[in-house]
Structure 1
Amino acid sequence: MSDSKALGVRDIVLMNVVAILSVRQFSTVAPYGAASMILWGIAAVGLFIPLAMVCGELSTGWPEEGGIFVWVREAFGPRMGWLCAFLFLSSCVFFFPMLLQFLMTTLVFCFDESLAFNKVFVGLSSMGIFWGLTGLNIRGIEWTRKINNMGALCGVIVPGMILISLAVYWVATGHPMQTDYHTPGNWVPQINNWTTIVFISSMMFAFAGMEVSPMIAGRCKNPQKDFPRSILISSIVIVGIYMLGTVSLNVLLPADDADILAGLMQGIKATSVTLGMPWLLPLMGATIAMGVLGQINSWLVGPIYMLNVANAEYQVIGAGIAQLHPRYNTPAKALTAQAVLVSIFCLSTFVSRSMAAAYWTLTALTTLCYFIPYLMMFAGFLRLRVKHPDRKRSFRIPGRVLPVLLPSVGFLSVLFAVVLLFVPPKEIEMGSLVVYELQIGGGGIIFALVGDLLYRRAVKKRHKS
């Protein structure tokens, strides 16, 4: 690739911002109030920077299709590689219902607040939307790309700027901040109380996705110089917007009243009433809904293609379900199977204690299945540095200390976040602690066992043949 077509620092920064930022994180973190500022910084240093730098080197050393699956396979063998891919896809099965719940709650909140917390309505409507998007992706319609582009603009940039502008206007017109940021003690996270910092796992998940964008590190004009610079700028921009968005929501809504699912719309509704802007609530709801649709749509097919790459070696799930549609050339059967599983978890809202409890359970399960591959990747990086020291990489983490320090910090941060998942947040009534921990731990163990059993069965079948 010529220099005129190579990617510059600005290109990578914009790509990271669009891929990672999500306005729904404002509601998740807002209950922490002023302490969320310190926690955002901890999450960024603990995961965002190590993740970006490690993925940048691995993606330029092993640029084959399959991404994180290829890296883990090269480090620990095909069995662990397959398990990594299977858990990555499993996380999407929990991730989609979580996003759909946020989508429906946000959209319906504009018209009927009580309906936004109706578990049956949200569950059934979420299923309908997902099957509709699945149908579009099976047909391979080109304009679905426009959904992603519109979602990036409307779902992140527009609502984020509206929220921040509202907060500035609110303070400028003499209205008091609804959350106390003036008391110095409120800025200090209560790290001695596990239930008050359990949300840090969700804050780290807010930076998930960096394993995708660094795959273009090799296309930089000067990878060794430009890529680290772009990561530094990306971290400042993304963390800065997350902080500004959280503060803005706290300006408009008391931290103690912020619901992790509907907190953003609660703040917008209260502000629209006080400032006499009735049009504000439906505008915000529409833009956020478009953003969530784009985010779901962008993740529908990608992990399935990665699973197909992982499946190619041993035909773990068989050739049938991985077959492409004869007309549209898309993984129709795999997409349909995914839609069935997502529908089951959409219906799980019916038996949850509340919408917030269902949302947090899905968030915890998503994070667990998503972060286990991260643990494999960070450990795999250290192994590949020893196993293939001379492998050509257009970008390498500089120095002797950083190549060991960054993946170690990333591994420990992810492990810490995984442990926190088993502590229910005090802001949400989750019921029995034992039942909650069985739901989270049992869900992760079941998916890991299923993936491993499928692999071992495929290996035995191949040996016999």
Structure 2
Amino acid sequence: MNKKIGLWDLVFMNVSALFGIRWIAKSTASSFGLGLGAIPAWFIFAFIFFVPASLICAELASTYPRDGGLYEWVKEAYGEKSGFMVSWLNWTSKLFWYSSFLTFLMVNVAYVLGKPELAGNKIFVLVCSLVIFWVLSAISTKGMSFAKIFTNIGALGSTVPTILLIAMAFIAVIAFGYKPASTYTVSTLMPKLNMDSLVAISAVMFGLSGAETTANFVTEMDKPEVTFPKAIMISAALVAGLYVLGSIAITMIVPTDQITASEGVLVALDQVAVALGIGHWFIRIVAFGIALSVFGAIILYIASPIKMLFGSVKKGVFSDSFTKVNDHNIPVKAVYLQAIIVSAILLITTLLPSVDAIYNVLVTMTALTALFPYVLLFKSYIKLRKTRPNEKRPYEMSKNNGKAIAIANMVLIVCIIGIVCSAAPVMPSLGENIWYEVQMIGGGLIVIFAGLLIWKRFTKRTGFKESS
């Protein structure tokens, strides 16, 4: 008999899947961020986005316990076409995730080398990112079993530096008299209503996304109707706590107008280490740990979204050459196609004025495209609740159908607001804003229409029709 997943197993899985140290700097930076307003924002969105989204996914996973996750749930409500689209959108969002993660990786590598000035060198970041991604793509075609060791390293690479940042910042201020760089009042903690803060909302939501991952384990738990919601609430409190305390710590050390999304955490750790009399060797070790976790995450996930997309959607949507797998069950041509697309994204964004601007655009595009699948997910949940009110649901977010639909509508609206906010113009000049909007809106539309075109070609070629 297989061992059931317990409460704390699920809590740690959620924390590992949801928490990312890079979001602390991204959210608190005055440029492309919320400044001190990020502190309450993390708590608010944990409970109006992460918690209801997780409970919705838990209900769907327990009601339709089949492989495929998002694809299966959306297909159940709207059919094969929508199932394909949610898989397509999930994969394409990873293209921007890889690109932003590679940029973040190279910033950390620059600090490991003891040359933080390289973190702002666009050519260094571009060339190294391209080389690393192609090497990792080639490695991934040989099988992914060796990458399992990086799962725990990846979690430690985010949580340990955050805990160090929090502990060291508070020790520096309380015990060593370090003067805080920020003042915390009701007024300063209120998010400023400008374009930068609007864009940051989608980044905060993306930092709390991933509920659909652990929801798939509902059927493997003892008393999921009690265990899962309790784990979600504990996870939400822990993740929000890390983000909130991390945001306080970084803003205690560095003023929000000096925090950059790509280097902010490392700069803060370096400054607080100096204040505590710790040498620069410390930041190189921390940067190495973060870099190793990012490196491991890229290795671990480089092929999995492709396997999900090409393995779950209806046979014939993609040509056999892209779905054909090698001896390690990896679709090799699809992996290299992904590498080409990621390379193009990196080359295009290099035209932006700085590494930090490149990183911010890639993170925003990741958040924008990653929220698209959630729109389909929440709409599917609402439809299934309305059209199948008496369906047997081993776990229910609420036994009251009207209440469940109302909660789903609320989180759907929050998600749509996040998508709209992510496209707000934030560049300093009109020309840069036009280019930025072309990437944000144009990129999102290209992704959607490309998926629709692929499906249309499939139906024309095969004569496939959705069953009523």
What is the TM-score of this pair, normalised by structure 2? Answer: 0.93
Question: Does the CA-based 8 Å contact 1:202-1:367 persist in structure 2?
Answer: yes
Displacement of 1:310:
3.6
Q: Is the 8 A contact 1:54 1:406 kept in 2?
A: no
**1:104-143 alignment, distance < 5 Å:** 104-110=106-112, 111-143=114-146
Q: Please, which runs of 5 or more residues in structure 1 have no aligned partner?
A: none
Q: How far has the Cα of 1:392 moved from its partner?
A: 3.4
Comparing 430-439 and 295-304, the one that deviates more: 430-439
Q: 1:71 to 1:133 in 2, by over 3 A?
A: same
- 8 A Cα contact 1:92 1:366, kept in partner: yes
CA distance in 1, matches of 2:429, 2:57: 37
Aligned to 2:304: 302
The CA distance in 2 between the partners of 1:297 and 1:409, in whole Å, is: 36
Contact 1:65 1:309 in 2 (8 A): no
Number of aligned pairs? 457
Structure 2 counterpart of 1:11? 9
**Corresponding position of 1:178:** 181
In structure 1, what is the Cα distance between the partners aligned to 2:429 and 2:49?
28
> What is the alpha-carbon distance in structure 2 between the residues aligned to residue 349 and residue 382 of structure 1?
38
Whole-Å Cα distance in 1 between the matches of residues 178 and 366 of structure 2? Answer: 39
CA contact (8 A) 2:181 2:255 kept: yes
1:448 pairs with 2:451:
no
Aligned-partner Cα distance in 1 for 2:285–2:11: 28
Q: Which residue of 2 aligns with 1:46?
A: 48
1:186-205, Cα deviation, whole Å (9 max, x unpaired)? 012234x3443431110111
Residue of structure 1 in register with 2:238 after alignment: 237
Task: After TM superposition, give the deviation of residue 166 of structure 1 in Å.
Answer: 1.1
Range with bigger deviation, 259-268 or 128-137: 128-137
1:23 is matched with which residue? 21
8 Å CA contact 1:224–1:396 kept in 2: the answer is yes
* Mapping for residues 48-447 of structure 1, pairs under 5 Å: 48-110=50-112, 111-153=114-156, 155-171=157-173, 172-181=175-184, 183-191=185-193, 193-277=194-278, 278-311=280-313, 313-325=314-326, 327-400=327-400, 401-425=402-426, 431-447=431-447
> Residue 49 of structure 1 contacts residue 231 of structure 1 at CA under 8 Å; is this kept in 2?
yes
2:7–2:227: 8 Å Cα contact kept in structure 1?
A: yes
Instruction: Tell me, in whole angstroms, the C-alpha distance in 2 between the residues paired with 1:147 and 1:335.
Output: 20
Which ranges in structure 2 are unaligned for 5 or more consecutive residues? Answer: none
CA contact (8 A) 1:68 1:377 kept: yes
Whole-angstrom distance in 1 between the partners of 2:430 and 2:90: 26
- Secondary structure at the aligned position of 2:4 is classed as coil
Alpha-carbon deviations, 1:95-139, whole Å to 9, x = none?
101001011112203421221111111011111221222222211
Matched to 2:420, the amino acid is V
Q: CA deviation at 1:14?
A: 0.6
Alignment check: 8 A CA contact 1:199 1:425 kept: no
Moved more, 37-46 or 440-449: 37-46
Preserved contact between residue 57 and residue 396 of structure 1 (Cα < 8 Å)? yes
TM-score, normalising length from structure 1? 0.93
- Report the CA distance between 1:431 and its aligned residue: 4.8
Q: Is the 8 A contact 1:349 1:355 kept in 2?
A: no
Deviation, structure 1 residue 406 = 2.2
CA deviation vs aligned residue, 1:260-298 (integer Å, no higher than 9, x gap): 111111112222333332221101101111121222233
Kept after mapping to 2: 8 A contact 1:324/1:330: yes
Question: SS at the partner of 2:145?
Answer: coil
Once the two structures are aligned, what percentage of the paired residues are identical?
30
CA distance in structure 2 between the partners assigned to 1:144 and 1:275 by the alignment: 36
Secondary structure class of the residue paired with 2:350: helix
For the aligned residue pairs, the C-alpha RMSD in angstroms reads 2.0
Measured in 2, the distance between the counterparts of 1:431 and 1:405 equals: 42
| Alpha-carbon spacing, 1:409–1:297, altered in 2? closer, same or farther (3 Å) | farther
